[in-house]
Structure 1
Amino acid sequence: MPYEICNSMTFYRIWHVFASLPQMERGVAKVLGGDPKGNNFLYTNGKSVIIRNINNPAIADIYTEHPHQVTVAKYAPSGFYIASGDVSGKIRIWDTTQKEHLLKYEYQPFGGKIKDIAWTEDSKRIACVGEGREKFGAVFLWDTGSSVGEISGHSKVINSVDIKQTRPYRLISGSDDNCGAFFEGPPFKFKFSITVSDHSRFVNCVRFSPDGNRFCTAGADGQIFLYDGKTGEKICALGGAKAHEGGVYAVSWSPDSSQLISASGDKTVKLWDVGTSTALTTFNMGADVMDQQLGCLWQKDHLLSVSLSGYINYLDKSNPDRPLRTIKGHSKSIQSLTVHKNGGRSYIYSGSHDGHINILSLGGGHTGENNDFSGKGHSNLVTKMAVDDADQLVTCSMDDTVRFTSVTKKEYSASNLVKMDVQPKHVSVAAGGLALAVCIGQVVFLKDKKKVFTLDSLDYEPEAGAIHPGGSTAAVGGADGKVRLYSVQGNTLKDEGKSVEAKGPVTDMAYSKDGAYLAVTDEKKVVTVFTVADNYSVKNDFYGHHAKVVTLAWSPDNEHFASGGMDMMVYVWTVNDADKRLKIPDAHRLHHVSGLAWIDEHTLVTTSHDASVKQWTLKF
C-alpha cells in the first residue's frame, strides 16, 4: 500500500504484514500451492489467500477479493497468475506480478465448495473439483471459461484433481466414493475408474509426478497407490499393506519425480523412494492431536508440512524428529493485542478466538519470528491483555480466568491463574502489582495476582475499565454511557459518587501513559478525552467513525491516540486538535480492527479477525 497523503504534514504507510497461518479443520486436507519459480507458496485462511516467501516466511502478501471463504489457490505454471476457488464455487484468476493483484477473469464452474484446482502446463486450461450440486467438477479454458471436457464418473464429492504436465494430457480425480477416475483429452473424457478395489475409504489426494510418468492416490485408509501416468495401470502400493497408520491427506512429489512425501493423521510425514516403494524417512511431528499432518509441499529443496494447529513445518531430512523451523502464529481471529519492550527489542502479544497467545518479535534478524508460551494456557477467547511493571502479561479470557504470565520465562503457570466468579471482558494494570478486571456484572480489584476487592450488585453493567498509572483511581465505563470514578484506598475501591458522561455505551477506555488524560470510546461513534487534573472535564470529543468504536490505544508521546471501529477505519487523533487526524481506511480489508498498540510514537500495530498483524509507519 502506498503512502497516503492526508495533508502536507501527515501520512501513513504499511510497513509489514505478518500473515495468518492456514485455517485448518480436523479430518480435512489442506492444499498448499507452490510457485513454479520456487519463491513463494500459497494457502488460504477465511476470505484471504496468503502468499508467503518460502525462504523468509515473514515476507507475506494477502489477497482479499473473494466475497466468500476461500478454500484453495494454485499458481499457473507460467507463474504470472493464481487461480483461487471459494465455498460458493467461484474461481478468480488474478495477477501475481502487480501489488494490486488485478482480476483477470472470474468464473462459476459449479455451485458449491471448490476443493482443488489444477492447470495444464501451458497455463491455458483449468480443472476444478469439489462439492457441486449438479456436478462435482469442471474443466475449462482459462481465458473464455469454455468447457474442454467433463469430469464425470464419481457419485460423491471430488476432493482432489491433477493434470499431467507433459503431453499427451491426462487428468485424474479422487473422491469420497473411495475411487479415483482417469481421463484422456483434451477435451477431457472419462476413461475408467481407478482404485475401485484399492482404497477402502475416501480418496483425499491425487498427484502426477512432474515428469508425468506416474501418479499416486492417497486415501483415508492410510494407503498410497502408484499408477502409470499415461495408461493409468496400477504399479504398486507404497509401504506394502499400509503407508501410514492414519489417513493420508496429502502427497507432494520431488522435482525429479524419484521421491514423494506424504502427510498423515498419524502425526507423521513420510519420505518415499518411488523406485523401491519404501519409506526412506519418517518425520515424527508430535504426540498431540494438533500434530496431525493435513498438508504438504515439496518445492525445490524445501519440504513443508502443515499441522492441524496451522503450524507450518520445514522438514529436515537429516534430523526427522526436529523440523528445521516451524512457522507459528494465529489461524483464528485475533481479539486482543499489546506491545512490550524487553532487552531493547519490541514484542507484539496477540490473543485469539481459540485462547492461543502469540509472541511476535521485532528488530534485528528476528523480525517476524512467531513464538508461543509453553504449557497450558487459556481455553477460550482472550478478550483483553496488558503487560504490567513486573514484566507479566496480564490476560483475561472467556474461560473465566485472569492469567499473569512472565514474558521472560515464556511459560504458563498454574499458580499465576486467578479464577473469576463470572466471565471477565476487560483488564487493565497499573504500577505496584495492581490490576482491574471488569466482568459481567462485577468489577474485581487485584493486587499481586490476588483478588482483594469485588464490586458487585451494581446498578449498571460494567463494560470496560482503566486504572490510573499512579494507582489512585479506577475508572469503570458502563453500558449506560457513564464512567464511574472509584478511588483506590489500600485494598478497596471506594465509590465517592463521582462519574463523567460518555456519548453512549462504553466499549473501551485507557489512560494516557503519563496519566494526564482518560480516553473513552463508545457505541455512538465518538471518542471522548477527559483531562484528569481538571477534575475530569472534557478536553475534546473526536468524531469521524461511521460505526461503533471498539478499541483505542495511546501513543507513548501522550499527544496522540488511535481508535478502531466497526467501520474498518483506524483514526490517529491529536489530543489538542480534534480536527487534526490521520485516517487509515480498510486497515484490514475484510474485518474491523480488533486491537491497536504502539511500538513507538511513529509505529502503530493493528490486528483483526483476519488473523493477521499489521505494522504501520506514521508521520505527523
Structure 2
Amino acid sequence: MSFKKGVLYPCNPATARGEPTRLSASKDKITYTNGRTVIIRDLKDSASTVSYSGHVYNATVARISPSGYYCASADMNGTVRIWDTVGEDQSLKGEFKVLPGKIQDLAWDGESKRVIAVGEGRDKFGHAFMIDSGSSTGEIIGHSKTVNAVSIRQQRPYRAATASDDGAIIFHQGAPYKYDKTIKTHTKFVQDVRYAPSGDLFASVGADAKVFLYDGKTGDTLAEITDSPHSGSIYACSWSADSTSFITSSADCTVKLWDVESRKAATTWSLGSGVDHQQVGNVWTEGGDIVSLSMSGELNIFDKRVGDKPTRVIVAPQKAITAAVPVASESKTFFAGTADGRLLSFSGDEYSYVKGEGHSSLVSGLTSERDGTVFSVGFDDRLREIDVKSKSFTPASCPTAHQPRAIAVGNDGTVFVVEADDTVEVFQHNQKVFEMKEMPGVVPSVIAAHGNLVAIGGENQQVHLWHWDGQKLTEECFLVGNRATISSVAFSRDGKYLASADANGKIALYDVAERMLLTTRWSFHNARVSSMAWTEDAKHCATGSLDTHVYVYSVDKPMRNIPIKNAAPGGVNSVFWLEDNVLASAGTDACVRTWNITFHK
C-alpha cells in the first residue's frame, strides 16, 4: 500500500476585529496566514495551492520575494522564517528572532536579499536584515508605538516607509537603512503604507479615514485625496501593476478604486453592512485581480471594469474543522463544521455556506444517511438537519437536553446523540423519542450505529453494544480491547466489523457478529484518535489523531499500514473517504487535504 499527496482545499485568512489582515501577491497567487499555517493560493488554478506549517507560534504575515524563489513569514513571537517556495520540501533557508513581540508586516527589497520586519517591541519596533546571514542592514527607528506596516521602494536608490500607531510615518533611506524624516499627516493610527511598483509614489491610509500620496524618492507629501472619502477606518491599500491606480479597504464596508492622475475615486464597491462586511485587507495581483478581505473571512474578487458587486466570492473555513462527513449520493462532496459554528458544503472545487439558520457555536458532530441526509449537532445544544440537494438547513431543529458530544444515525434514519451529563438521546423525524441517563458504570463519549445496533464508548475503556427496537435501547454486551478512554468508534459499511480507538492511540478491531476481538495491532498513533473511516469494501480503515498523523490499516494484514505523517498541523479532527481510493483529512488548521491511496493486492 502507498499514498500520494492530492489536492489541498485551503482555509481562508484569519481576521481580528479592529486590526488589518495582511495579504500579499505574487503573479496570480495570493499569500496569507491562518493560525500556524501559511497559504499560497493560486486564484486561477486551485489545485496549485500549497501550505506551509513550519511556525511554532501563530503566523501573522507572509510575503513572497520578488524573485519568487523564497517566502518570508513571521509569527506572534517575533520570528521570521525564510523558506523555499520552489521545492516540495519547502526547505528552510533561515530563521531569525528579530523582535520581542508580534510581527505586523514584512517587506522585501527589489534584489530579494534584504527584509524589513516591523511590529510590537520595547526598545525597537522594526529590524532590517540580510536573509543569508541575518545580519543587520540598517536601523528602523523613530517610532514610539507598534509599527503596523512597512513598504520598500523596489528600485535603487532604495527607500522604506513605516507606519505606526503613534500616528507617524517614518521615511528611511537605504540600504543600509537609516532615518530620514518623520511624516505627520495622519491624526490617528496609520494602518497601511504601500509603494507603487514604479517607485515614484507611495500611499498611506489610517484610522482617521484619510488617504495621502507621497513622493517615492524624497518622502515629500504630495496630496491628500479628499474626493468621495471613506467614512470609517481604512485598513489596507494596494497598487495596480502599472502604478496608475490603487485600492483601499475600509471598516465602512466599501472598497474604493482611486485614479492617481485625477486623484478621485473611480469606482466604489459596497459589500453590505455590519461587522462581518468590514473590509480588513486587500491585494492587487499582477494578473489584475482585485482582492479584498471581509471580516467574516470572505475573499471578494473584483473586476475594475465592473463597478457593482464582486465577480467572485471565495468562502472557506476560518476556524478549526471540528467535524466533516462525505455525501454518499454525490461524488467529491462533503460537509464541514467548524469551531465557530459555521457549516460549509464543498462540491466541485469551492466551498459554499450551508444556507439557513445554523449553529451559533462549535459544531461537535456530523453524520449522514445512505440517502444523503446530513445531521449536525453543536455546542448551542441543537440537532439540525441539512438538505443535501439544496445545501441548506431544513426548518426542522430539535433541542438537546445537554451539550452534544457525538452523533450517529442508523439505517432507518434514527439519530443517536451522546451528550454531556452522561446522557444518550434518540430522535426520529425531528422528535425526541427516547432518553437514557446515567448508564451504570459508563461515562459515554462516542457513538456509532449500524442498522439497529448502537456502539457506545466511554471512560471505562469498553465499547458497549446496544439494540434499538424502535422504542428503547437494550444493552447486549460489552467489548474489551482498549486500555484508555474510548475516543472514536466506527462500524464498517456492511456492519461486519467494528473499530474502537482510545486516547492512547490504540485501536481494537472486532467481529460484530461473533462479538470477538480480532486484533489490537493497529497501534501506531501516539495520541488520542479522533476519527475513523472505513472503505466501502470494509477491507481498510483510515484513522486520524491529535498526533497530526493519518494511518490506513488493512483488515486482512493487520501489521501493514500506510503512514501519512504530519497530515494536519495541530492535529487531525476528521478523516473520510471521498472516493474508493481518495482519502481526505481535516483538522485544526481549517484545511482539508486529500491523499490518493494505492491498495496492493
**Contact map agreement 2:345 2:391 (CA 8 A) in 1:** no
Equivalent residue runs for 1:547-566 within 5 Å:
547-566=527-546
Aligned residue identity for 2:292: S
Residue in 1 aligned with 2:574?
595
1:10-51 C-alpha deviation (Å, 9 max, x unpaired): 11111111111111111111111211xx13221111111111
Residue in 2 aligned with 1:110?
99
Equivalent residue runs for 1:236-255 within 5 Å:
236-240=223-227, 243-255=229-241
The Cα shift of 1:145 comes to 2.4
Distance 1:502 1:543 in 2: 12
Return the match for 1:501 from 434, 455, 480: 480
The Cα shift of 1:426 comes to 0.5
For the pair 1:21 / 2:1, whether they are aligned, the reply is no
Residue in 2 aligned with 1:436?
416
Q: Identify if the C-alpha distance between structure 1 residues 490 and 119 changes in structure 2 by more than 3 Å, giving closer, same or farther.
A: closer
Return the match for 1:201 from 188, 201, 209: 188
Equivalent residue pairs, number: 594
**Contact map agreement 2:319 2:588 (CA 8 A) in 1:** yes
**Contact map agreement 2:328 2:372 (CA 8 A) in 1:** no
Residue in 2 aligned with 1:216?
203
- SS of structure 2 residue aligned to 1:290: helix
Residue in 2 aligned with 1:149?
138
The Cα shift of 1:155 comes to 0.8
Residue in 2 aligned with 1:304?
291
Q: Identify if the C-alpha distance between structure 1 residues 388 and 193 changes in structure 2 by more than 3 Å, giving closer, same or farther.
A: same
The Cα shift of 1:390 comes to 4.5
Residue in 2 aligned with 1:325?
312
Equivalent residue runs for 1:471-550 within 5 Å:
472-495=452-475, 498-503=477-482, 504-534=484-514, 536-541=515-520, 542-550=522-530
For the pair 1:467 / 2:449, whether they are aligned, the reply is yes
Return the match for 2:332 from 327, 333, 346: 346
1:348-384 C-alpha deviation (Å, 9 max, x unpaired): 21111111122112xxxx3x21111122311111111
Residue in 2 aligned with 1:5?
none
Q: Identify if the C-alpha distance between structure 1 residues 375 and 321 changes in structure 2 by more than 3 Å, giving closer, same or farther.
A: farther
For the pair 1:410 / 2:401, whether they are aligned, the reply is no
**Contact map agreement 1:403 1:418 (CA 8 A) in 2:** yes
**Contact map agreement 1:250 1:295 (CA 8 A) in 2:** yes
Aligned residue identity for 2:379: M
Residue in 2 aligned with 1:284?
270
**Contact map agreement 2:61 2:105 (CA 8 A) in 1:** yes
**Contact map agreement 1:453 1:491 (CA 8 A) in 2:** yes
Give TM-score scaled by structure 2 length.
Answer: 0.96
- SS of structure 2 residue aligned to 1:342: coil
- SS of structure 1 residue aligned to 2:73: strand
Return the match for 1:68 from 54, 57, 60: 57
**Contact map agreement 1:340 1:348 (CA 8 A) in 2:** yes
**Contact map agreement 2:504 2:525 (CA 8 A) in 1:** no
1:294-320 C-alpha deviation (Å, 9 max, x unpaired): 111111211111111222111123433
Residue in 2 aligned with 1:6?
none
Aligned residue identity for 1:74: R
Distance 1:573 1:141 in 2: 47
Give TM-score scaled by structure 1 length.
Answer: 0.93
Q: Which 4+ runs in 1 deviate beyond 4 A?
A: none
**Identical aligned residues as a percent:** 35
**Contact map agreement 1:394 1:403 (CA 8 A) in 2:** yes
The Cα shift of 1:392 comes to 2.0
1:556-586 C-alpha deviation (Å, 9 max, x unpaired): 1111111122222222112233222222222
The Cα shift of 1:207 comes to 0.7
Aligned residue identity for 1:164: R
1:380-411 C-alpha deviation (Å, 9 max, x unpaired): 11111111245321111111111111111222
The Cα shift of 1:446 comes to 0.9
**Contact map agreement 1:174 1:203 (CA 8 A) in 2:** yes
Distance 1:292 1:342 in 2: 38
Distance 1:304 1:102 in 2: 29
The Cα shift of 1:87 comes to 1.4
Distance 1:161 1:446 in 2: 57
**Contact map agreement 1:433 1:449 (CA 8 A) in 2:** no
Q: Which runs of 5+ in 2 are unaligned?
A: none
For the pair 1:458 / 2:439, whether they are aligned, the reply is yes
Distance 2:332 2:177 in 1: 56
Distance 2:413 2:253 in 1: 43
Residue in 2 aligned with 1:270?
256
- SS of structure 1 residue aligned to 2:332: strand
Aligned residue identity for 2:12: L
1:100-143 C-alpha deviation (Å, 9 max, x unpaired): 12222222222211111112212222211100222000112232
Distance 2:192 2:550 in 1: 43
Aligned residue identity for 2:381: D
Distance 2:574 2:458 in 1: 20
1:450-473 C-alpha deviation (Å, 9 max, x unpaired): 1100001333211111222x2x22
Cα RMSD over matched residues? 1.6
The Cα shift of 1:58 comes to 4.3
Distance 1:389 1:106 in 2: 50
- SS of structure 1 residue aligned to 2:543: strand
Distance 1:71 1:580 in 2: 41
- SS of structure 1 residue aligned to 2:123: coil
Q: Identify if the C-alpha distance between structure 1 residues 58 and 293 changes in structure 2 by more than 3 Å, giving closer, same or farther.
A: farther
**Contact map agreement 1:502 1:522 (CA 8 A) in 2:** no
Distance 2:90 2:539 in 1: 38
Distance 1:567 1:341 in 2: 28
- SS of structure 2 residue aligned to 1:577: coil
- SS of structure 1 residue aligned to 2:283: strand
